[in-house]
Structure 1
Amino acid sequence: MAESASTGERVRVRVPGKINLALCVGPRRPDGFHDLATVFQSVSLADELTATPAPAGVVTVEVAGADAALVGPAEDNLAVRAARLLAATYAPDAGAHLQIVKGIPVAGGMAGGSADAAAALLACDRLWGLDVGTEALLDLAARLGSDVPFTAMGGTAVGHGRGERLRPVRVDHVFHWVLVTSGTGLSTPAVFRRFDELHPPQDVADPQIPDGLLEALQAGDPVALAATLRNDLAEPALDLRPDLGATLGAGTELGALGGLLSGSGPTCAFLAADAEHARALADGFRTRGVGRDIHVVEAPGSIGFPHAGRG
């Protein structure tokens, strides 16, 4: 159990971003969300959050690292909202200062904000000596956003509902990906609105995980996995950002086994056969000047909740 915040300690947490190997979108619900069937997998690209004590009732944040300038004001920061929700629920007199070092692209469809929220929940739980337990933290995570519970859990999981109902999947194999980021973000609500415009409700079926996807993951077969990749948000995202079609096309030309948008985009994820193939793909993207940044990553990345430490 973490000690009281009055001891002056600090808690540091690293939480990875994610990609959706399948993002299957179902009908819009009365609450405005869509039923989803998705397969999340964390990647070896992480944000780091450090929490230190602050006066009672005060939660502040500062952001550094990649894309820090793109992060919105503190009042809109999901990590701040997470810390305040935890305090309001379990420790009304607690306070914290959050320092975030970004490694996950901002507004890239990789749940960077959700990862920061998950990190804030764990860090402040330990900083404030609450020890509320993983299930309670996951309940709070679901209140903050659809991707927050998975970024808290990490690894690989099937998601249903709006993505917050999770079933962990054991994957003992490492897959190699190349991520190509974009200089301009995409609004997730805007992509879903365009999905609704393109697909009348009567034409949208209940979402299902593609046949063979989980089997390919558990067999460690990247060729079979590539054949099952799916993202129903690709059509509306490409309608809003036609330039992303050129990025996906470049991946095909360079020999990626498969490619898709990460979440609602605009980051594009390309599956490689192995580590050497991933490095060659990345070199090809750089030579062509495709995208803004190129990241070679492994999946699944490290799990979120256990990776917290003091100091």
Structure 2
Amino acid sequence: MSNDTSSGNPPESCAEPAYAKLNLALHVRRRREDGYHDIETLFAFCEDGDELIVQPAEDLALFVSGPFGGELLGEAAEDNLVMRAARALQAHTGRTRGAALTLIKRLPVGSGVGGGSADAAAALRLLSRFWALDLAEAELEALGAELGADVPACLRSRPARGEGTGTHMQPSDLGALVGKPVLLVNPGVHVSTPQIFRAWDGVDRGALGVGDALQIARSGRNDLTAPACALVPEIRNILELLGGDPPALLARMSGSGATCFAIYEGADSRDLMARRIETDHPDWWVMRSRLR
């Protein structure tokens, strides 16, 4: 069935989570000559997100399902980050074994929570295991960096302080924030990351702080919030709603938007706000989760 020379038979199927990514703070420091931006950010991850399932097959194939799967159906399979990750892994290792991949798309597309990057990262982790490649994490991260700036962080799916384009990372400790309930809210609007970065005003407002994760986050900011709100005013409405909730420890937009989040001390406070939003804004997307 394959001209792969690795020994053993692959499992019938296995799955890999693609955890939602949050930027607890995101400082844009400068616009580089290559068109990218130097940033400083504090990555955190939720317990929930998309999911990727693999089964044996002679060739590579991708199937998409889930609440937001329809948004990807018009996209050419080869353009999907999951397929690009699989092809990159094949090319890097010289393996030609196939795989039938099913992406369960639970996160909105273009929403600032690393959906596509997390999916690509999950594909690299899953196929490395499924194809018994035994690649080091650093090797996978180098491959991931070629697919997108957030992919290396999503490969780890662990708290980290990111610099450069976000690919230079130092492990971080969420401390007391681990396991804290978090509420994600999106107004149902797709946001273009390049467009938001282009709209950044170019002002360096200073470095990311130091201290524990909550101190860093609270003293920090997301420099992409203003251009995102100018493009999607609903983001400001969400931030005012979440930020005006006294039990929230932190309320912020993630990445380039449009998803915003609030971290809570207890699940009751989170769920109360979630029910309020679901009642008052039934067209908004809401996800309850916890920080990993």
TM-score of the superposition, structure 1-length normalised?
Answer: 0.84
The aligned runs of 1:139-178 (5 Å cut-off) are 139-173=142-176, 174-178=179-183
1:227 corresponds to 2:218:
yes
The aligned runs of 1:55-94 (5 Å cut-off) are 55=58, 58-71=59-72, 72-94=75-97
Q: Which amino acid aligns with 1:83?
A: A
Residue 13 of structure 1 aligns with which residue?
Answer: 16
Which one of 23, 27, 33 corresponds to residue 24 of structure 1?
27
Per the alignment, in what secondary structure is the counterpart of residue 274 of structure 2? helix
Which one of 225, 234, 243 corresponds to residue 252 of structure 1?
243
What is the CA–CA distance in structure 1 between the aligned matches of 2:231 and 2:208, rounded to whole Å? 25
1:192 corresponds to 2:197:
yes
1:298 corresponds to 2:284:
no
Asked which structure has the greater RCO (Cα within 8 Å, sep 6+), the reply is 1
Q: Which amino acid aligns with 2:266?
A: D
Shift of 1:204: 2.9
Residue 185 of structure 2 aligns with which residue?
Answer: 180
Q: Which amino acid aligns with 1:68?
A: G
Per the alignment, in what secondary structure is the counterpart of residue 150 of structure 1? helix
Shift of 1:225: 6.5
Residue 210 of structure 1 aligns with which residue?
Answer: 209
Number of equivalences: 282
Tell me: CA distance 1:204–1:230, structure 2 relative to 1, closer, same or farther (3 Å): closer
CA contact (8 A) 1:216 1:225 kept: yes
Shift of 1:4: 5.0
- Superimposed CA distance per residue, residues 86-121 of structure 1 (whole angstroms, 9 cap, x where no aligned partner): 101103423222111123232110001111111111
CA contact (8 A) 1:9 1:127 kept: no
RMSD over equivalenced CA pairs, Å? 2.1
What is the CA–CA distance in structure 2 between the aligned matches of 1:162 and 1:229, rounded to whole Å? 18
Shift of 1:287: 2.9
CA contact (8 A) 2:49 2:107 kept: yes
- Percent identical pairs in the alignment equals 35
CA contact (8 A) 2:222 2:252 kept: yes
Q: Which amino acid aligns with 2:17?
A: R
What is the CA–CA distance in structure 1 between the aligned matches of 2:235 and 2:163, rounded to whole Å? 27
Residue 279 of structure 1 aligns with which residue?
Answer: 271
Q: Which amino acid aligns with 1:152?
A: L
Residue 304 of structure 1 aligns with which residue?
Answer: none
What is the CA–CA distance in structure 2 between the aligned matches of 1:4 and 1:100, rounded to whole Å? 27
Shift of 1:293: 1.9
CA contact (8 A) 1:42 1:154 kept: yes
Tell me: CA distance 1:283–1:32, structure 2 relative to 1, closer, same or farther (3 Å): same
- Superimposed CA distance per residue, residues 218-269 of structure 1 (whole angstroms, 9 cap, x where no aligned partner): xxxxxx5763351000011011112221121222344334321111000111
Shift of 1:290: 6.3
Gaps of 5+ in 2: 1-5
Q: Which deviates more from structure 2 when the two are superposed, residues 96-105 or residues 6-15? A: 6-15
Tell me: CA distance 1:59–1:283, structure 2 relative to 1, closer, same or farther (3 Å): same
CA contact (8 A) 2:187 2:234 kept: no
What is the CA–CA distance in structure 2 between the aligned matches of 1:59 and 1:189, rounded to whole Å? 30
CA contact (8 A) 1:160 1:166 kept: yes
Gaps of 5+ in 1: 218-223, 302-311
What is the CA–CA distance in structure 2 between the aligned matches of 1:104 and 1:273, rounded to whole Å? 24
Tell me: CA distance 1:225–1:32, structure 2 relative to 1, closer, same or farther (3 Å): closer
Shift of 1:8: 6.0
Shift of 1:280: 1.6
Q: Which amino acid aligns with 2:232?
A: R
Q: Which amino acid aligns with 1:261?
A: M
What is the CA–CA distance in structure 1 between the aligned matches of 2:102 and 2:185, rounded to whole Å? 26
Shift of 1:132: 1.9
What is the CA–CA distance in structure 1 between the aligned matches of 2:204 and 2:77, rounded to whole Å? 38
CA contact (8 A) 1:54 1:95 kept: yes
CA contact (8 A) 1:82 1:144 kept: yes
Which one of 25, 41, 45 corresponds to residue 38 of structure 1?
41
